[in-house]
Amino acid sequence: MQRCHPALSASRTPRRSHRGACRPARRRHLLRRPAAGRVLLLVCLFCLCVCRPSAVRADAATGVSPSAQTADIADRTSPADAPPDHAAESGKTSVIAWTEQDGLAFAELPLPLRDGPGPKLAVVRLPPENFDFVLCAVGRGKHPPLTLRQWVQREGLSAAINASMYLPDGVTSTGYLREGDYANNSKLARRFGAFFVAGPDDAALPAATLIDKEEPDWQERLARYRLVVQNYRLISRDGNILWKPGGPRNAISAVGVDAEGHILFLHCREPLDAYSFAEGLLRLPLHIRLTMYVEGGGQAGLVLRAGSLEREYNGRSAAEFLSTGNIRAALPNVLGARRRPASSGEAEPQPAGLLKKIPVSRQKDFTGDTE
């Protein structure tokens, strides 16, 4: 019980007045409670603001490139985990207006999402018979990382995209990465199920394609190619999305192959979760097959330079709140397409340079676990 002021107790005022005299003090006590509540609310909001960036930094510390935590649920999800209507007819785009130049085709169109048109998707369609695919890596040239535009200018490329995510050393790919005698990472990542390959040792093989780790002869097929790039699967060869719905939203760079064997460089600069990205791809008439995730966030990019066609796309992270998205990240490893001279004819078989037995990496990836 709240006590009254001593002076009031000593007076001859009736007890009713004593209680009345105490009321202002009680009111003041009650008025202090909302203020305390507001202080507590501000403290909670401050903790949320401070702890959330710390969690993101912790994820990045265990990972590779800053946006790599996006892929923490990839390539371990069975097709049964995905809703069966990801290729529903509603919202599909029936025709793509391609712009063709210098042996490639380019299109920019909105991704058809479940709730309507989504962010813009940039697609570069590259027929393997017209292009040589090359690995641009700082570990080979012993020079600092370059932006995609700088790689294109330096190597004379028609198109370039991220080759893969990379480890904290700023050089080494998270998955197996090799071209000829140069091995950036000579160990297979257990959790990565897609391989981009190019430069076969037999002209009867596809000049460039993607190989699914679920195929029974996948390792023997890798040994036949000069260039091998390993990453997470985004869409399996039979058209299943291998990521769970939801998850972090990031800009996304991906590489796929269509039903006719064309290589597709894909980029969405606006933040989007990987499942919705894959679902939108399947709704487009790209006839896309196996697709692999190569990078996300501010470091995801795509550059096109073919004749009068010049485009540069840089990812925008949801946490950066940038209006332009003109971040030009320096990248250690880039997958490039170089126009093959028209007179060169078919590509000559090239030695694969890959040992029959490829070691499997037991190094923990950015999710902190191995299989």
| Highest mean predicted confidence (pLDDT) among 25-39, 293-307, 338-352 | 293-307
Average pLDDT, the chain: 78
Task: Please indicate, yes or no, if residue 26 is contained in any of the structural domains.
Answer: yes
When divided into structural domains, the chain yields a total of: 2
Task: Please indicate, yes or no, if residue 275 is contained in any of the structural domains.
Answer: yes
Same domain for 125 and 12: no
Same domain for 101 and 40: no
Same domain for 241 and 113: yes
Residue 142: the pLDDT is 77
Same domain for 279 and 157: yes
Same domain for 130 and 24: no
Task: Please indicate, yes or no, if residue 81 is contained in any of the structural domains.
Answer: yes
- CA-based nearest residue to 1, from 13, 17, 18, 91: 18
Top-confidence residue, 361 or 178: 178
Same domain for 37 and 182: no
Same domain for 44 and 156: no
**What distances in angstroms separate CA 4 from CA 9, 27, 30, 238, one per listed residue?**
7, 13, 16, 81
Considering only 5-14, 99-108, 237-246, which range has the smallest mean pLDDT? 5-14
Rounded Cα distance between 173 and 44, Å, is 39
- 132, 226 in Cβ contact below 8 A? no
DSSP for 268-296, please give it. Answer: EEEEEEHHHHHHHHHHSTT-EEEEEEEEE
- 304, 100 in Cβ contact below 8 A? no
Round the CA-based radius of gyration of the chain to a whole number and report it: 28
Residue 33: the pLDDT is 53
Same domain for 143 and 23: no
Task: Please indicate, yes or no, if residue 368 is contained in any of the structural domains.
Answer: no
Residue 187: the pLDDT is 95
Split at pLDDT 50, 70, 90, the class of 34 is: low
Dihedral angle of Cα 271, 274, 277, 281, to the nearest 10 degrees: 150
Task: Please indicate, yes or no, if residue 58 is contained in any of the structural domains.
Answer: no
- 174, 366 in Cβ contact below 8 A? yes
pTM comes to 0.74
Domain hosting residue 45, numbered range: 6-49
Dihedral angle of Cα 137, 241, 321, 68, to the nearest 10 degrees: -40
- H or E element that contains 229: strand 225-235
Same domain for 25 and 125: no
Residue 327: the pLDDT is 59
Same domain for 165 and 27: no
Residue with tokens 């679902």: 279
Split at pLDDT 50, 70, 90, the class of 14 is: very low
Task: Please indicate, yes or no, if residue 1 is contained in any of the structural domains.
Answer: no
Task: Please indicate, yes or no, if residue 366 is contained in any of the structural domains.
Answer: no
C-alpha 189: how far from its chain's center? 17
Same domain for 197 and 143: yes
Task: Please indicate, yes or no, if residue 109 is contained in any of the structural domains.
Answer: yes
Same domain for 71 and 180: yes
